[in-house]
Amino acid sequence: MSGMMTGVVAALGGGSGGGGISGSSTLKLNGVDQYANVAHSTTLNYASAMTLSIWAAIQTKSGVQTLVSKNSGGTDGYELYFDTVSNTFKGFIYIGGLIKEVESDTNPLTDTWYNVMLWFDGTNLKLYVNDTQEDIVPAVGSIDTNTADFRIGAKSGTASNFFNGSIAILLGHDDGLSNPEILEFQDPKDPSLYSTQADMTVGLALNGGSDTPEDDTSGNGNDATLVGSPTYTGIKLTIEQDSGGGPVEADYNMFSNPTRVNTKRIEFNTDISGGLSEASLAMCVSPDSFVDQEFYYEATSTNAYGKFRMRIAGGNLQFGYRDSDTGSFYNTTVTASTFLTVGVSSTIVGTVNTTTGDINIYIDGTVRSSTNVGATSPIYSGALNNLPAIGIENRSPVSDIIDAGISNVYVFNEELIQAEVDKLGTTPDETYYFSTLDSGLVAKMVAGWELSSNDPSAADLIGSNDGVIKGGMGSDGDLLTFTPYV
């Protein structure tokens, strides 16, 4: 996986961030007879795929210590554990009576938190420690199921191999998540986090920051029962988040043209929006001023207004399109300085539906301008005057040179609704990282460019419409915080 979560820290006690767990005491297990038990449920028989995540801090190293187990004691099920002899985390599954096992590179320290994940997709078995994939083995088939209880801190079938230390935040999904690192940030005490994760089958807080730490937040009724009277006196776990309230994926510089040189821009070779009856344009922008400037521009041969564009003109943020029949330019506007701040990045989304005539501008997830122009023909699809561009009104002579940092420019073939707009970014100085973006949004994307120091190539994230960087426009803009969509 990315391994880029430089802004997220798992700390021992104290501290707080924008959200998540802040200094919460955790479930302390004595290594003798204490564990958390979840009664057998078919929802915990992960046959074809699985992502299993838990936080653990070992107090005393001795023997084999189980983190999570649903293994009858025979050749079935799955397990995640710590092995004192090898001083590593290990995990296994059984397929057709044969064991498939993975082992960490990490040699854990005592009294130190680690996020450990066991991942399976029907083809491979993987082990992650603190967001880093540390082992992978081929594992083709389905996990052999059983009727054993699901246990945290002890082996299922035999109530042995007790864990000695602190445990928190158990999460299970019946899917090999494409972005398993997002589970590192989850706090089951807030069930609303899982409104978009229908594949979650169990979520247990197991920390003192929750009023109901043993209650399953997945909706499957997989509540835990504490055995042996363990208490929430384990070492504290702080999952720090950035001040904006979302987990930090990475900080990168945005593309910009700080001296407003008229040769700097990013051009594209083909028509992008032409012929669409619905379309949306999303981007993350950090303005340096509110002078006239072009963020995104597709031109036509007969209309200086262009055919599909986002810009600041006369102090107003403007988004609009030209229709195919009349050549009219339709748009909606809002005073830029009212909702945008110099030096602060905002996610701007423009949506259009030519059938209903609705045009909207969203800023950080909130509708800031809405205009109905009545039904029109689709977006103009005739010949282009000049190549589509980011950062300049690309016609002769060029004008409205960008005075902003810009990143994550996406074009969609539908009018996005509010819930979809929210998945692109709702907090200033944050935007969602493409590789962890909601799959439903990606399916509607017709072109997209990251435009940051992480990927300065201006390559099309979806297809072949790669951008061509002109005049040295580069990633020297403001810092941008990418966050994983949850």
Q: Which of 4-18, 147-161, 177-191, 364-378 has the lowest mean pLDDT?
A: 4-18
pLDDT at 484 over 60: no
pLDDT of residue 194: 35
- Has residue 200 got a pLDDT over 70? yes
- The secondary structure of 334-345, three-state, reads EEHHHHCCCCCC
Amino acid occupying residue 46: Y
Top pLDDT among 136 and 396 is at 136
Q: Count other Cβ atoms within 10 Å, centred on residue 303.
A: 15
Q: How confident is the model at residue 20 (pLDDT cuts 50, 70, 90)?
A: very low
How confident is the model over 416-435, as a mean pLDDT?
A: 82
Dihedral (C-alpha) 9, 212, 193, 250: value to the nearest 10 degrees? 0
Q: Where are the domains of the chain?
A: 10-239, 250-483
pLDDT at res. 189: 37
Once rounded to an integer, what is the mean pLDDT over residues 281-301?
89
Please say if the pLDDT value at position 59 is more than 70: yes
Say yes or no to pLDDT of 203 above 90: no
Alpha-carbon distance 473 to 456, whole Å?
Answer: 10
Beta-carbon neighbour count of residue 324 at 10 Å? 18
Same fold, 10-239 and 250-483: yes
* Residues 6 or more apart whose Cβ sits within 8 Å of residue 85: none
Give the pLDDT confidence score for residue 429 in this predicted structure.
78
Which tops the pLDDT comparison, 387 or 34? 34
Contact in structure between 113 and 184 (CB atoms under 8 Å): no
Contact 128, 134 (CB under 8 A): yes
Asked whether the CA dihedral 202, 208, 214, 217 is positive or negative, the reply is negative
For the residues 400-418, what does the mean pLDDT come to? 93
Q: What is the mean pLDDT of residues 448-460?
A: 87
Q: Which among 38-42, 218-222, 234-238, 254-258 has the top mean pLDDT?
A: 38-42
**Angle, CA 59 vertex, CA 57 and CA 65 arms, to 5°:** 75
Asked if 47 contacts 115 with a C-beta cutoff of 8 angstroms, the reply is no
Rounded CA-CA distance 62/64 in Å is 7
- For 10-239, give the CATH class: mainly beta
* Residue 68, pLDDT above cutoff 70: yes
DSSP β-bridge partners for residue 311: 294, 318
Q: Give me the amino acid identity at 34.
A: Q
- pLDDT band at 457; cut points 50, 70, 90: confident
pLDDT of 132: 81
Pairing of strands 445-449, 404-412: antiparallel
Give the per-residue pLDDT at 171. 87
Look at residue 332 and tell me whether its pLDDT is greater than 90: yes
Q: Which residue is it, tokens 């707080």? A: 16
Question: Measured between alpha carbons, how far is residue 245 from residues 8, 164, 420, 433 in Å?
Answer: 12, 33, 19, 16
* Cis ω before 397 (30° cut-off from 0): yes
Cβ neighbours around 288 below 10 Å, total? 18
pLDDT reported for residue 80: 98
Mean pLDDT of the chain: 83
Q: What is the average per-residue pLDDT within 172-197? A: 54
- CA of 273: how far to CAs of 285, 379, 385, 445, 468, in Å? 20, 7, 14, 11, 18
Residue 191 has pLDDT above 80, yes or no: no
Cβ neighbours of residue 419 closer than 8 Å, sequence gap 6 or more: none
Q: Check residue 480 and give its pLDDT.
A: 75
Residues 269, 459: Cα–Cα separation, whole Å: 12
| pLDDT in the model for residue 197 | 52
pLDDT for residue 12: 27
Asked if pLDDT for residue 416 goes beyond 90, the answer is yes
- Confidence category of residue 485, pLDDT binned at 50, 70, 90: low
Average pLDDT of the residues in 460-470: 89
pLDDT at site 425: 84
Q: Are 195 and 219 in contact (CB under 8 A)?
A: no
Residue 87's pLDDT band, with cuts at 50, 70 and 90, is very high
- Using pLDDT thresholds of 50, 70 and 90, give the confidence band for residue 2: very low
Residue 193 confidence (pLDDT) above 50 = no
Amino acid, res. 72 = S
* Residues facing 267 on adjacent strands: 389, 468
Q: Are strands 430-432 and 479-483 parallel, antiparallel or unpaired?
A: parallel
Residue 91 vs residue 212, higher pLDDT? 91
The dotted CATH code for 250-483 is: 2.60.120.200
